[in-house]
A and B are shown apart, each in its own frame.
Chain A
Amino acid sequence: MTSILKRFTNVAVAALVVAGSASLAFAADKEITFSGSGGVVGEVSKEVWFGPFEKDTGIKINHVAAEAKRMPQLEAMVKSGNVLWDAMEVSASDYPLGVKKDLFEAIDYSVVDPENKLPTDTREKFGVAYAAYSQVLIVRTDKLPEGKKMESWADFWDVKNFPGPRALRGRAEDNLEYALLADGVPAEDLYKVLSTEEGLDRAFAKMDEIKPHITTWWTSGAQSVQLLSDGEVYFCPSYNGRITTLVSSGIPAEIVWNGGAMHKSYIAIPKGTKHLKEAEEYVKYRTTNADHMREYVTHLPYPGWAPGLFEGMDQALAASMPTYPQNQAVQFAASAEFWAENLDAIQERWTEWLLK
């Protein structure tokens, strides 16, 4: 039996060596592999970013549409020393995770933003914020009681004046913040309150109030849109870009910016990439090129902070952006750091709470 096993191991090792060298042989010089979102985002990016980038710099982008499980894949790559991606999108909640596990190259700002034009809070050590997205309350305006308008999380919690089925996302993040806002905590104190045991209890107590009125706890953005469009629920938080899908299919829906959770998406460079310089080139292009970003947001309302982005942008379009000053002012900045620190513990309590 052992000799059989040994032979198997030999064959397996040989197969891996062959596969490994094959992937090396294919790697071209001026090409980077980018792990980004698939679907509509991928299609638009191809047109607005990848194509022009290759034309301007001669670096070809090989786009890998990422599945949801990007971080486990990245960790496996970095640990095995076989890093297949040269640059990647990183969500707000994944960024601190990657930093903690040491999975990213430090950003060289003398290359990416030499003139220091990006806002300070977008220039992180291991990633550059390239887009803002918000989880905001979306309301089916045709299902509202006559003459009423939902304007805050307090209204969402007010089932007497705003009857109808509701949904929330099945995770603790954002929801506990919404609960505290509904309970009257000012936006700037959210994380100070949540960091204390009493504050956490207060948030869960407020969640108790709304729990019986929540039809379902969604797990993917697509699902939340489906719920709203089927009339399964009337009021439900979702990503700001999703409203486009609803409105374009003729469903009367509206974003409540007040109390929205604004998140940042980062672009980062996996540790151990073989094309560091080219990857940095792309990070720079993606975060600071205002012209392409302006074109990008006509397709998808996920703007970045490229200097001069709002200059010459259509007024109505600008007003639909999460970073538009009036919109940004009434939202809160979701704290990725807080959740990176506390998610494990809170999630356990959250699951327990859901089962109760």
Chain B
Amino acid sequence: MNAEKKITSTWLLWPALFMLVAFFLVPTLDILRASFFDPEFTTKHFVKLLGSSVYLDVLWRTIKLSIVVSLICAVIGYPISYFIVQRPRKQQIFFLFLIFIPLWMSVLIRSYAWMVVLGREGLFNSILIGLGITDQPVKMLFTTGAVYVAMVQILLPIQIVTCYSAMSEIDLDLIRAARILGAKPWQAIRRVFLPLTLDGTVTGAIIVFMLSMGFFITPALVGGRKDIMMANLIEFQVNQLNWGFAAAISIILLIGTVLSVIIIKRLSKILTRRLVGGGNA
């Protein structure tokens, strides 16, 4: 690599680097500062936060909810992506287009739409009552289940697109080669295709997980009283102008998210190794 080429390539990185530093790193460090300096150095925000059961309880609920949502998205998204990858090129574009359509609508509107579908006098209950399956409306709205349904619907496109792009890079002839070498269809998928695509799936799941960690409108609209997210607590404190405390909650949320992502990555590595090496089943 000659010197001239090197300079050009560094320059290409500048805009991205600038954006990252100015709009991500600096604000994040500022939040960290705000959580410890108010205006003098203090640990009172963290003492208060860790001294009450509420905040860690809500953090744990937020993590649990996000994990469930990303698992459901991964399980539903994987076969859909596989289906799309197997189509001819033109059809692939058409299917991806269908996947993208819901992304054009605001999260708020999609959450309200679920209220219409799941409500007491909503679409599902009308169908159930109309078919005589039940005569009393079933409670679906304002439950944790409703939160899962709405969040999966909102985040699924992101999972599918990430998963699809990982799959589309894999030479499908590899599966054929495995079959020629004597692998059964399921074996070929499990020991060749699945390990190769797992990374993309996990990346998608991590993106979904991180987005879920910051959700608050959807759970507030369709969830029950226990579906409180960390972001709801942060929003409340910001509105009360308790910047320091809000910053401390954000830092805890950030730590919780990063730790969870590290654990997910570790688990996925172990899983890949198992899949490749594991038996002849």
**Which A residues contact B (CB, under 8 angstroms)?**
4-5, 8, 12, 68-69, 71-72, 75, 97, 101, 165, 170, 211, 214-217, 219, 223, 226, 230-232, 343-344, 347-348, 351-352, 354-355
Which of the residues B21, B54, B61, B119 comes within 8 Å of A230, measured between beta carbons?
B119
Tell yes or no: B228 within 8 A of A by CB.
yes
* Residues on B with beta carbons closer than 8 Å to the beta carbon of A75: 241
CB B252 to nearest CB in A, in angstroms, measures 15
* Residues on A with beta carbons closer than 8 Å to the beta carbon of B228: 351, 354-355
Assess whether B54 is in contact with A355, with CB atoms less than 8 Å apart: yes
19 contacts between A and B (CB under 8 A): A5-B21, A8-B18, A68-B239, A69-B238, A69-B239, A216-B225, A217-B225, A230-B115, A230-B119, A230-B121, A232-B121, A344-B242, A348-B52, A352-B53, A354-B228, A355-B54, A355-B58, A355-B226, A355-B228
Which of the residues B52, B122, B220, B225 comes within 8 Å of A214, measured between beta carbons?
B225
CB B37 to nearest CB in A, in angstroms, measures 14
Assess whether A219 is in contact with B220, with CB atoms less than 8 Å apart: yes
Give the nearest-CB partner of A94 in chain B.
Answer: B239
Give the nearest-CB partner of B220 in chain A.
Answer: A219
Assess whether A232 is in contact with B119, with CB atoms less than 8 Å apart: yes
Assess whether B54 is in contact with A348, with CB atoms less than 8 Å apart: yes
CB A40 to nearest CB in B, in angstroms, measures 19
* Residues on A with beta carbons closer than 8 Å to the beta carbon of B238: 69, 72
* Residues on A with beta carbons closer than 8 Å to the beta carbon of B116: 230
How many chain B residues touch A (CB < 8 A): the figure is: 34
Tell yes or no: B221 within 8 A of A by CB.
yes
CB B69 to nearest CB in A, in angstroms, measures 19
Given contacts A226-B115, A352-B53, contact A232 B120 (CB under 8 A): yes
Interface digits, B118-132 against A, CB 8 Å rule (1 contact, 0 not)? 011110000000000
Tell yes or no: B233 within 8 A of A by CB.
yes
- In the bound complex, how far is the Cα of B142 from the Cα of A165, in angstroms? 12
Give the nearest-CB partner of A351 in chain B.
Answer: B54
Assess whether B239 is in contact with A72, with CB atoms less than 8 Å apart: yes
* Residues on B with beta carbons closer than 8 Å to the beta carbon of A72: 238-239, 241, 243
Give the nearest-CB partner of B17 in chain A.
Answer: A4
CB B16 to nearest CB in A, in angstroms, measures 12
**Which B residues contact A (CB, under 8 angstroms)?**
14, 17-18, 21-22, 52-54, 57-58, 61, 112, 115-116, 119-122, 141-142, 220-221, 224-226, 228, 233, 236, 238-243
CB A188 to nearest CB in B, in angstroms, measures 28
Assess whether A215 is in contact with B142, with CB atoms less than 8 Å apart: yes
* Residues on A with beta carbons closer than 8 Å to the beta carbon of B220: 170, 219
* Residues on A with beta carbons closer than 8 Å to the beta carbon of B52: 348, 352
Assess whether A351 is in contact with B120, with CB atoms less than 8 Å apart: no
Assess whether A231 is in contact with B121, with CB atoms less than 8 Å apart: yes
Which of the residues A215, A217, A232, A351 comes within 8 Å of B233, measured between beta carbons?
A351
* Residues on B with beta carbons closer than 8 Å to the beta carbon of A347: 236
* Residues on A with beta carbons closer than 8 Å to the beta carbon of B233: 351
Assess whether B58 is in contact with A354, with CB atoms less than 8 Å apart: no
CB A104 to nearest CB in B, in angstroms, measures 13
* Residues on B with beta carbons closer than 8 Å to the beta carbon of A170: 220, 225
- In the bound complex, how far is the Cα of B246 from the Cα of A72, in angstroms? 12
* Residues on A with beta carbons closer than 8 Å to the beta carbon of B239: 68-69, 71-72
Which of the residues B22, B54, B120 comes within 8 Å of A231, measured between beta carbons?
B120
* Residues on A with beta carbons closer than 8 Å to the beta carbon of B61: 355
- In the bound complex, how far is the Cα of B140 from the Cα of A232, in angstroms? 11
* Residues on A with beta carbons closer than 8 Å to the beta carbon of B22: 8, 12
* Residues on B with beta carbons closer than 8 Å to the beta carbon of A216: 141-142, 224-225
* Residues on B with beta carbons closer than 8 Å to the beta carbon of A214: 225
Assess whether A351 is in contact with B58, with CB atoms less than 8 Å apart: yes
Assess whether A354 is in contact with B226, with CB atoms less than 8 Å apart: yes
Give the nearest-CB partner of A231 in chain B.
Answer: B121
Assess whether A344 is in contact with B241, with CB atoms less than 8 Å apart: no
* Residues on A with beta carbons closer than 8 Å to the beta carbon of B241: 71-72, 75, 97, 101
- In the bound complex, how far is the Cα of B227 from the Cα of A219, in angstroms? 13
* Residues on B with beta carbons closer than 8 Å to the beta carbon of A12: 22
* Residues on B with beta carbons closer than 8 Å to the beta carbon of A69: 238-239
CB A246 to nearest CB in B, in angstroms, measures 15
CB B26 to nearest CB in A, in angstroms, measures 10
* Residues on B with beta carbons closer than 8 Å to the beta carbon of A230: 115-116, 119-122
- In the bound complex, how far is the Cα of B119 from the Cα of A4, in angstroms? 56
- In the bound complex, how far is the Cα of B237 from the Cα of A71, in angstroms? 11
- In the bound complex, how far is the Cα of B22 from the Cα of A348, in angstroms? 34
Known: A69-B239, A216-B141. 19 other contacts (CB 8 A): A72-B238, A72-B239, A72-B241, A97-B241, A170-B220, A170-B225, A226-B115, A230-B116, A230-B122, A231-B120, A231-B121, A232-B115, A232-B119, A232-B120, A344-B242, A351-B228, A352-B52, A355-B54, A355-B225
Assess whether B54 is in contact with A343, with CB atoms less than 8 Å apart: no
Which of the residues A8, A97, A211 comes within 8 Å of B240, measured between beta carbons?
A97
- In the bound complex, how far is the Cα of B51 from the Cα of A352, in angstroms? 13
CB A212 to nearest CB in B, in angstroms, measures 10
- In the bound complex, how far is the Cα of B242 from the Cα of A53, in angstroms? 37
* Residues on A with beta carbons closer than 8 Å to the beta carbon of B243: 72
Give the nearest-CB partner of B53 in chain A.
Answer: A352
Given contacts A232-B119, A232-B120, A232-B141, contact A354 B240 (CB under 8 A): no
- In the bound complex, how far is the Cα of B48 from the Cα of A348, in angstroms? 11
Q: Give the most central of B141, B238, B239: most A CB within 10 Å.
A: B239
* Residues on A with beta carbons closer than 8 Å to the beta carbon of B120: 165, 230-232
CB B110 to nearest CB in A, in angstroms, measures 15
* Residues on B with beta carbons closer than 8 Å to the beta carbon of A352: 52-54
CB A350 to nearest CB in B, in angstroms, measures 10
Given contacts A217-B225, A226-B115, A231-B120, contact A355 B57 (CB under 8 A): yes
